[in-house]
Amino acid sequence: MIGLMTTAVVVAGFEKGTGYAIPVDGTFRRVVEKFKRGAEIEQGFLGVAPRNPIVSEGERGVVLDRVEPGTPAGQSGLFAHDEIVCIDDAQIRNIDDLFLQIGSLPPDHVAQITVRRDYEEFTVPVCLTKRRWTPPVRRSLPRTSKVVWHAGRLRRFSFNTTHFGS
């Protein structure tokens, strides 16, 4: 098998269906094996916020806008404004390449990341982790007022939570 074809359901009046071809590669096989065992599907996590620079033909790399402290990237000595050019010998040309490459690697994989900093290239070993999910913080107190634009200026309106709910 070379790939898996999928299609989206088409609704009457919206006849532009979408289809995807998923290649059968190492990542696909790893995910299928985990599905068979009933295990959770995990992806590698680096901990960076990249930005896509305007690149000329032949240039490569993704500039890091931010490196989160305490993440694999932060612990490995990567900094904002570093440029990731390769991960495990795979060239990184844009943000999509970066996320596809990191996402295809399992947690605990030690990725060899080639970085360009101040016109010098060097390789840093980075042990990827599983991304930690933190639930959003809920407000514990009910909202009792609302700021709205009324009669040409902002005004605060109060309301009783027993009538309107929280």
pLDDT in tens, 93-137: 888 889 889 988 889 999 999 999 998 999 999 999 987 766 566
- Please state the domain count of the chain: 2
Nearest residue to 27 via CA among 10, 9, 7, 4:
4
Q: Report if residue 162 sits inside a domain.
A: no
Give the Cα separation of 125 and 116 in Å (integer).
14
Give the Cα separation of 146 and 140 in Å (integer).
17
Residue-wise pLDDT tens digits, 68-96: 999 999 999 999 999 999 999 999 988 88
Cβ atoms within 10 Å, residue 60: 16
Residue 39: per-residue pLDDT: 82
In terms of domains, do 34 and 98 share one? no
**Domain membership of residue 9 as a residue range:** 1-41
List the Cα angle 108/123/99 in 5-degree steps: 55
In terms of domains, do 6 and 58 share one? no
Average pLDDT, the chain: 79
In terms of domains, do 5 and 71 share one? no
Q: What is the pTM of this model?
A: 0.63
**3 state DSSP class of 52:** coil
In terms of domains, do 24 and 95 share one? no
In terms of domains, do 128 and 53 share one? yes
Q: Report if residue 20 sits inside a domain.
A: yes
